[in-house]
Amino acid sequence: MNRDFRLLFTAAAVSRLGTSITYVAMPLIAVTALDASPGEVGLLATLSTIAFLVIGLPAGAWTDRVRRRGVLIAADLARAAILLSVPVAWWLDALTMGQLYAVVSAAGVGTVFFDVANQSYLPQVVGRPALLAANTRLVSMDALNDIAGRGVAGFVVALVTAPAALLLDAASYVVSAWCVLRIHHREPRPSRVSGRGHIREGVRFVVSHPVLRALAVAGALSNLGIVLVLTMLPVVLVDELGLGAGVLGLFLASGGVGMLAGSLLARGLAARFGAGRVVLLASAAIAPFGFGMAFVDRGPGLWLAGATWLVVTTKIGADNVLSVSFRQQITPDALLGRVMATFRFLLTGAVAVAGGLAGGLGQVWGPRAALVAGGCALACVWVPVLLSPLRHTKELATAAPPS
């Protein structure tokens, strides 16, 4: 990989680790410094991701109007300044829950712009032929962060206190901005786009393209199934089976291991069998495994559920590499921001729906009903792929836009 990609990769890795610190530190600040209630902590978590639903689509249209490198730098520096306000207010004894709500909401806006611009900028930095290799490294880095990043974050928070830990996250965004600033690649001046019609253009491109449409539906089903399981898993393991938080932590860590394994296997499998065929065959092969979590129990049932979860997350890790690569390969440069934002909107929407659905199913029929529903969603992921040209697609480059 070229020097510019190494800088972009470093920027992403450093900022992801910093974000893990905030993920751990922010609720601890709310609970320990402000005596927040469970409802207030829940609202804090919701506000940290709601920006993808509220401004995700307009952010894509705006990103397509400007050079993405500048968006990345601005988003990093803005998030650094926003997070710095928390330890300053804490040291001045002026911190309030209202400020925490505002901080996570504003930082979420910065994350929307950074993520959309980052996925749109990558094809220009590495070139479309190298997308699979680049995304393999990026998804593997995300998986490693899932496995170890939050553990490191917990250690940092315990060492320096939660408010002070946010200084490290702010510093990580500054380092990320510095790395992006050093990238030599310069984008051409983009064409001017604005208004609702241009937002609809991105949505229309996704809906009308048979490959992108299939990836969007499959991704939404996958997110729906995963979140249905993860939302009720703590209730089943800890409350119903009394297995303790340590077992839950091992389950979540095994998911990170599966994601890492899938991301590392994706490129080789695509070269051997064809990228589109891997997406289809992997989706069909894991269909029965999604139900394994519904039968989690003590003893052998626990190990069986853990094995099925590892299989499911391995498939998700491979999907993350191949799906993003397909999107970037297919989409013209002028539409990349809007297409990436459309996908983030749909996939985040599926997460939001799954959280509410899991709560409703758990309340009415019990927590295992949500696990069964999650298995049903995961078992259907292969259907939209089978009905699309992906089943015949060997190389990313052959998944061309419709004429």
Q: Over the range 351-380, which residues count as b (16 or more CB within 10 Å of their CB) and which as e?
A: bbebbebbeebbeeeebbbbbbbbbbbbbb
158 and 213 fall within a common domain: no
331: helix, strand or coil: coil
144 and 102 fall within a common domain: yes
Q: Is the pLDDT of residue 188 over 80?
A: no
Q: What pTM was computed for the model?
A: 0.80
119 and 216 fall within a common domain: no
Which distant-in-sequence residues (6+ apart) come within 8 Å of 322 by Cβ?
Answer: 132, 266, 270, 275, 278, 279
Helix and strand numbers (H, E) in the chain are: 17, 0
Residues 14, 144 contacting (CB under 8 angstroms):
no
Q: Is the pLDDT of residue 398 over 70?
A: no
- Rounded percentage of the chain residues whose pLDDT exceeds 70: 90
Dihedral through CA 323, CA 266, CA 137, CA 166, nearest 10? 60
In a domain, 403, yes or no: no
Q: Residue 224 sits in which domain range?
A: 200-398
26 and 125 fall within a common domain: yes
Q: How many CB atoms sit inside 10 A of residue 77's CB?
A: 18
Mean local confidence (pLDDT), 352-378: 86
User: For position 128, what pLDDT does the model report?
Assistant: 83
> Could you tell me which residue, 149 or 227, shows the higher pLDDT?
227
User: For position 402, what pLDDT does the model report?
Assistant: 43
Domain boundary among 191, 225, 253: 191
User: For position 129, what pLDDT does the model report?
Assistant: 84
- Rounded percentage of the chain residues whose pLDDT exceeds 90: 27
User: For position 201, what pLDDT does the model report?
Assistant: 86
Residues 79, 111 contacting (CB under 8 angstroms):
yes
Query: Tokens 């786009």 appear where?
Result: 193
Q: How many CB atoms sit inside 10 A of residue 106's CB?
A: 18
Q: Is the pLDDT of residue 163 over 70?
A: yes
Number of domains in the chain: 2
Q: How far is CA 94 from CA 44, 86, 174, 324, in A?
A: 18, 9, 25, 43
